[in-house]
Structure 1
């Protein structure tokens, strides 16, 4: 038995309060635990534990050695972890919706590259569903309910569909009290097909039924960021996702409307194709990204 293993056994004995409890926790025989302590005492040249048939007590020298051994084992574990990280290499190709990718995914990728210096990353910002296999993508961030597939998905959060307008717009237009009143308002659309859109809202208090309301869009854009900018300038009512207007809502340049009719939240998933992880980069990225994205939504588990 090497000295590091004996140190670990000694710390377990101290933490559990008895030789018998330590042997049960470690899955070792009481005799092997006793031998480990004796070997460590011989190496240290001091008695670490005073033992009787009924109890044991850590000696003064043993107390000093507890902190020394714990520090040594922690430093060794840290060195092994850094050595393991240094061996991770490879390229990870990630796709995400444009604005979400810029706001939430880029910080994750930047910290991943800093943590694993032998890795590379490609981020494809596209507002469409990407075929992971056909387009050579490793990980997709999907903002939607997912169909059944062979892909592996990890839920990292939820986003809301809001209805917003600037105080300057509401100063001249009475806020709608229900979705039907949107027909009398100037709305800002994200539909390239035309000037009218169907906006879906919750119809019943139970949240299980929805209804679609046709709105008139005097201004239509193909960019969520541009639509939000226009709404801030008082051009009309916009329908963004919650993460897209966090700054504006906090600053008060946009306010939410029709909250009681808000439809159910939209789940956010990390989606990837199960396959061997060449160089460990994909597995490392998923392990790195999932908790950081959950943290960005302000929750540990969703």
Structure 2
């Protein structure tokens, strides 16, 4: 049995949480994958995984063993990388993911500049508003907007983003003055309906330290920010968006910021990558190049 291959398979099963997901990712049949893990357990003489129809979890022995597997495979990967020169000079392929609009406006220009300086690195940029799984989709690095869940991945914060409530002057002139977030329940609102967006808008209540969650009854619901912003510009109603999504409309006076004194906390933005003791030069170079540039871009946006 190929011990290193079995270790890699075990790690993938644990990372993805199921044999079927790991089978699909590794492009091996489910029976083959199950057999390899069983052979590994038989050779060790211990059970590594608790298997039920609903849940997959590590045994106590499994926890200890998989940590050792990760260290061993990292050392093997590092040795192979050094043999190929990946740890000596920046070269190879990088897969980066980012939200669609943010990636187009802020990440792509930085990548183009990065590629001009590193001729031996190739980048695949995956723009998606869903959180692509770095393990399942073999992604090297992600730009994530929002609080990070607890995980084994490493996040480098590059800035934060305001959350703004906006409407056109035409719409506001036809409405009673909005004095608190709760007045939104009486207004025509445009809701962004995505997997990451809650069905309410959050606001900070001054001098109280409390956060208000206002349930929105939308007149219009859309699943992308461009459509929500365009509808707000045309006077359809009020929308709440991240600053970069409405910056152009605000700069051109197509939209006005409202309820600014109740603005919620800014949302953090991170560069995220999988845990590794030693980063290949291509990833280290990208992190070192991109982090300060994104910080500068986000600082300019907040001014």
Q: Smaller-chain TM-score range?
A: 0.5 to 0.7
TM-score normalised according to structure 2 size: 0.65
TM-score normalised according to structure 1 size: 0.65
Deviation at 1:106, TM superposition (A): 0.9
Structure 2 unaligned blocks of 5 or more: 1-87
Aligned to 1:92, what secondary structure does the other structure show? strand
Residue among 144, 150, 156 paired with 1:148: 150
What does residue 101 of structure 1 align with? 103
Deviation at 1:233, TM superposition (A): 1.2
Q: 1:190 to 1:292 in 2, by over 3 A?
A: same
- Determine whether 1:120 maps to 2:122: yes
What does residue 268 of structure 1 align with? 269
The one-character-per-residue Cα deviations of 1:101-142 (angstroms, maximum 9, x if unpaired) are 111111111111111112111111122222212210111111
Residue 202 of structure 2 contacts residue 214 of structure 2 at CA under 8 Å; is this kept in 1? Answer: yes
Residue 145 of structure 2 contacts residue 270 of structure 2 at CA under 8 Å; is this kept in 1? Answer: yes
Alignment length, in residue pairs? Answer: 211
Superposition pairs of residues 5-44 of structure 1, within 5 angstroms = none
Output the aligned Cα RMSD: 2.2
What does residue 167 of structure 1 align with? 169
Superposition pairs of residues 49-198 of structure 1, within 5 angstroms = 87-191=89-193, 197-198=199-200
Name the CA distance, whole Å, in 1 between partners of 2:159 and 2:244: 11
What does residue 246 of structure 2 align with? 245
Structure 1 runs (4+) deviating above 4 angstroms are none
The one-character-per-residue Cα deviations of 1:84-116 (angstroms, maximum 9, x if unpaired) are xx9421111111111111111111111111111
Name the CA distance, whole Å, in 1 between partners of 2:129 and 2:135: 18
Deviation at 1:298, TM superposition (A): 1.8
Name the CA distance, whole Å, in 2 between partners of 1:291 and 1:160: 19
The one-character-per-residue Cα deviations of 1:218-254 (angstroms, maximum 9, x if unpaired) are 1111110111111111111011101111111111111
The one-character-per-residue Cα deviations of 1:181-219 (angstroms, maximum 9, x if unpaired) are 1111110111269xx932111134254x21211222111
What does residue 204 of structure 2 align with? 202
Residue 192 of structure 1 contacts residue 220 of structure 1 at CA under 8 Å; is this kept in 2? Answer: no
Aligned to 2:104, what secondary structure does the other structure show? helix
What does residue 236 of structure 2 align with? 235
What does residue 259 of structure 1 align with? 260
Residue 203 of structure 1 contacts residue 210 of structure 1 at CA under 8 Å; is this kept in 2? Answer: yes
Aligned to 1:213, what secondary structure does the other structure show? strand
Aligned to 2:179, what secondary structure does the other structure show? coil
Name the CA distance, whole Å, in 2 between partners of 1:175 and 1:273: 48
Q: 1:192 to 1:114 in 2, by over 3 A?
A: closer
Name the CA distance, whole Å, in 2 between partners of 1:267 and 1:201: 16
Name the CA distance, whole Å, in 2 between partners of 1:175 and 1:236: 14
Aligned to 1:291, what secondary structure does the other structure show? helix
Aligned to 1:247, what secondary structure does the other structure show? helix
Residue 193 of structure 2 contacts residue 224 of structure 2 at CA under 8 Å; is this kept in 1? Answer: no
Residue 143 of structure 2 contacts residue 270 of structure 2 at CA under 8 Å; is this kept in 1? Answer: yes
Structure 1 unaligned blocks of 5 or more: 1-85
Aligned to 1:294, what secondary structure does the other structure show? helix
